[in-house]
Amino acid sequence: MTSRRQFLKTLTYGFVVTRLKPVFAENHKIVTYNLTAKKSKFSFKENFTSNVFLYNDLNPGPTIKGNVGDILRVNFKNQLDEPTSIHWHGIKNINAMDGVPYLTQDPVQPGETFVYEFPFNHSGTYWYHAHFESWKQVAKGLYGPLVISNPKESIFENEIVILADDWRLNNNYEIDEKSFGSLMDWSHAGRIGNWLTINGKKSPKYVIKNNALTRLRFINASNARVLKFGSSLKKLQIIGVDGMLVKPFFQENFTIAPGQRIDISFVTNNDSEVNFFEISQKQPLKAFKLEILKTNQISNKKIYDFTPQNILPNTDNAKVIYIHMQGGAMGNLTKAKIDGIEKDFRSLATEDKKLWAFNQEIGSYENLLVKVKRNEVIVFDVWNDSRWPHSMHLHGYHFYVRSNEFENINDYLLRDTYLMQPGEKSKFIVLADNPGKWLFHCHMLEHAVSGMVGYIEVE
């Protein structure tokens, strides 16, 4: 491990110094941010304070913004007392900048710094988060929004990021530290919380212009909670999923799984406010409110109408990767291999805290699923043969999937994170044009750490 870590460290820094700066710096605008991960204090409820991990002492971390064609440079410093790294979720990134410890970079040790630098190749709604012990570091607050704009699409007069998180707090409104590592969570749905925040606040309010085209960018930063949003509007127009623009369609409400993003658009009217609710439970929970500022303004930007030109890859000669997902409570995984040794499920759970498998193999960041040539077409043939939903995320790519996540919609969508229901079988179609080692895992973060993870290598 020592030699591999040293190799990765040398490779990563060498790539940044010798290739990124000379190639990009002279011809592209460089957008620079300074990010520091540190122990912080945060008040979830008045008169109560909790220990958290935050970027720049902000919950959520700073919104990183740029335009297509810009180069993002993040000067990152780790002031935690444990290693960490940053993953740029949804970006078709340079592999050395993907932030996966021991796979694409050495973890950033306490007191160390690291420069993340990569181009913004496409617009959309994304986010960044810790990827070292993410089941704990994300749950403690290490994440933030990432918004890449295309000036050609700048038609919105109101635009707000809605980053939702589902925290687990104790009776003192502190993060419930004692429950980290719970086998009950890891073997069931994951770390389900009890305190919903929008951009770090409980039921916040935002003021928007009247009679104006509005865009809301939803991000689910929860460890495991699948959220569902409805509103006082009759219908919601969905214009983007996972950063990718789609042919607009209407839904009364929408589900958003951990790691996913949904962009919606609507025109404000003569109402005084619009309320949004989280409706996954029996009792709707007020999520946030939009107060409409009355003006005499008359807008001609009434309709958002954009149809992306996406081309489904030809799969006639595709390489098929079979992924049989098993494990968890009430599952049918009786045995699996870990580090080449076959063990029964009870031993895996009690001795190794491993509960999930791909193809009866306990996964890790060193679990190679397949090696393919560049520009080869891949079909992930995935079967969720378990009792629990899984939010499946592929790093470095978007994939085509015939989505079952929306009512009356069964089209191919480009996603980087897809919610698979228990028993569901699906196919993810990928043109493997981005070289490197790319993680594939469940974004219920407790499922990933306990075995539901592997990577593909594109030569």
Q: What is the pTM of this model?
A: 0.93
Whether residues 67 and 208 share a domain: the answer is no
| First and final C-alpha spacing in the chain | 22
- Amino acid 402: pLDDT: 94
* Across 19-25, average pLDDT: 41
Mean pLDDT computed over every residue of the chain: 92
Of 276, 293, 310, the one marking the end of a domain is: 293
Residue 16 has pLDDT above 70, yes or no: no
Q: What is the pLDDT of residue 297?
A: 62
The answer to whether residues 143 and 182 belong to one domain is: no
Same domain, 144 and 225: no
Using the predicted structure, report yes or no on whether residue 301 has a pLDDT greater than 80.
no
Residue 401: which residues within 8 A CB-CB, separation 6 or more? 412, 413, 415, 418, 426, 427, 428, 429
What pLDDT, on a 0 to 100 scale, did the predictor assign at position 304? Answer: 61
Mean pLDDT of 25-43: 91
Helix or strand (DSSP H, E) at 86 = strand 86-89
Span 68-90, average pLDDT: 98
CA-to-CA separations, 19 to 11, 25, 120, in angstroms, rounded: 11, 10, 16
pLDDT attached to residue 433: 97
Q: Is the pLDDT of residue 135 over 70?
A: yes
Mean pLDDT of 93-107: 97
Total domain count, the chain? 3
Name the residue with higher pLDDT: 57 or 12: 57
Buried residues in 124-154 as b, exposed as e (16+ CB within 10 A): bbbbbbbbbbbbbbbbbbbbbbbbbbeeebe
Within 223-311, where are the H helices?
none
Is 307 inside a domain boundary? no
Say whether pLDDT at 124 is over 50: yes
In a domain, 312, yes or no: no
Tell me, yes or no, whether 162 and 146 share the same domain: no
Q: Which pLDDT value is given to residue 372?
A: 97
pLDDT at position 456, please? 98
Residues 438/163/443/83 CA torsion (nearest 10 deg): 70
* Tokens found for residue 276: 């949004």
Q: Is 313 domain-assigned?
A: no
What average pLDDT does range 126-150 have in this prediction?
98
Residue 62 maps to a domain: yes
Q: Are residues 97 and 13 in the same domain?
A: yes
Instruction: With CA atoms as reference, report the closest residue to 451 among 190, 88, 129.
Output: 190
Task: Kindly state whether residues 73 and 191 are assigned to the same domain.
Answer: no
Residue 301 lies in a domain: no
Q: How confident is the model at residue 21 (pLDDT cuts 50, 70, 90)?
A: very low
Q: Percent of the chain scored above 70 by pLDDT?
A: 91
Q: Are residues 389 and 453 in the same domain?
A: yes
> Are 32 and 146 in the same domain?
yes
SS3 (DSSP) at 32: strand
Tokens 């569902």 belong to residue: 228
Please give the pLDDT value at position 186: 98
Lowest mean pLDDT of 23-27, 115-119, 123-127, 198-202, name the range.
23-27
Please say if the pLDDT value at position 66 is more than 80.
Answer: yes
305 lies in some domain:
no
What integer is the mean pLDDT of 169-183? Answer: 97
Same domain, 327 and 450: yes
Lowest-pLDDT choice from 164-178, 250-264, 296-310: 296-310
Domain co-membership, 126 together with 185:
no
pLDDT surpasses 70 at 318: yes
Q: Which domain holds residue 16?
A: 2-151
Cα–chain center distance at 248: 22
pLDDT at 255: 98
Where does the pLDDT of residue 144 fall: very low under 50, low under 70, confident under 90, or very high at 90 and above?
very high
Q: Give the span between the Cα atoms of 240 and 162, in whole angstroms.
A: 14
The whole-number pLDDT of residue 34 equals: 98
Average pLDDT over residues 272-286: 94
* Confidence category of residue 305, pLDDT binned at 50, 70, 90: low
Q: What is the CATH number of the domain that holds 224?
A: 2.60.40.420
- Which residues on neighbouring strands pair with residue 288, listed in sequence order? 276
Contacts of the segment 62-65: beta carbons below 8 A, 24+ positions apart: 62/33, 62/35, 62/144, 63/144, 63/145, 63/146, 63/147, 63/161, 64/31, 64/33, 64/128, 64/144, 64/145, 64/146, 64/147, 65/31, 65/146, 65/147, 65/148, 65/149
pLDDT reading at 14 higher than 60: no
- Choose one of 116, 151, 186: the last residue of a domain: 151
User: Residue 324: how many CB atoms within 10 A of its CB?
Assistant: 15
The average pLDDT across 395-419 equals: 94
Does 139 share its domain with 10?
Answer: yes
Domain end: 119, 151, 183, which one? 151
Mean pLDDT, range 52-62, rounded to an integer? 98
Contact yes or no for 197/52 (Cβ under 8 A): no
Phi/psi for 444 (5° steps) reads: -75, 105
CB of 208 within 8 A of CB of 291?
Answer: yes
Same domain, 47 and 186: no
pLDDT of residue 155: 85
Residue 192 maps to a domain:
yes
